[in-house]
Amino acid sequence: MELDTAASNVSVFVTPEQLAVAAAERFVHNADEFQKAQGRFSVALAGGRTPRRVYELLATAQFNTLVEWSRVHLFFGDERCVLPTHPDSNFAMVDKALISKVEIPAKNVHRMTGEGDPEENARLYENRLREFFAQRDWPRFDLVLLGMGADGHTASLFPESRTLEETSRWVVATERAHSGQRRITLTVPALSHAAHVIFLVTGKAKAAALAEVLGGQSKRDRLPASLIRPVDGTLEWFVDRDAASFL
């Protein structure tokens, strides 16, 4: 198939482990680059199995000592409306895989609050982002890591959701239609103003959606991952051989 040139910066890896290692290496490289340039490194993290392996690698001796964690700021692309200790919590996953294992100051970990009122928590998180990214119309994350579901969703941006049409909010409350589970998510424009976005996609179940997204033929509300196009930044896809099987 012919790839959409706007989204064709695709790296294919034989195994998910090779993909995770490459993503961890890119994290280290970008952290060093941005810390030297501006004194800090801000990253929005994804939930999911593939990103989790990246975080586990970053916590190992191979990578841990290469990052100046005191100047890293961790944000979250989305969160389920659950307690931070709940097995479904993205924060709980990242904390277990990475945060608890590296020397990052607590004040540098900006978790989305899952407990309580989702609308209020979304508003408070947006306020935190506006304070951190002061004097900007949109947040400017140095790096955004995203996954993609077999239905083409990314973060908690789901197909045919009204959230996809948001043009002014940075963070919104939403829900997954088939389960009714409430979530909080960064919006399409908030993610699209990052300096660097990397999608991490593995598995045959996602091959059809990936081919459609990279082919540039997706309807606007069908595959939300296709909407993430950095306004003034770079977009890359790290995919394994199974996910790339329809390309």
pLDDT tens-digit map of 45-64: 999 999 999 999 999 999 99
| Rounded-to-integer distance, Cα 59 and Cα 170, Å | 29
The upper half-sphere exposure of residue 124, i.e. CA atoms within 13 Å in the direction of its Cβ, equals 12
Check: CB of residue 98 under 8 Å from CB of residue 59: yes
pLDDT at 219: 66
| Rounded-to-integer distance, Cα 163 and Cα 161, Å | 5
pLDDT at 16: 98
The low-confidence residues of the chain, meaning pLDDT below 50, are 1-7
CA angle 197, 70, 187 (to 5 degrees): 30
Question: Exposed, middle or buried, 162 (CB in 10 Å: 0-12/13-18/19+)?
Answer: exposed
pLDDT at 178: 76
For the chain, the first-to-last Cα distance in angstroms comes to 6
pTM score, two decimals?
A: 0.95
- Edge-first strand order for the sheet with 234-240 is 10-13, 234-240, 196-201, 143-146, 41-45, 72-76
pLDDT at 6: 46
The upper half-sphere exposure of residue 187, i.e. CA atoms within 13 Å in the direction of its Cβ, equals 21
Backbone angles phi and psi of 241, in degrees to 5: -60, -35
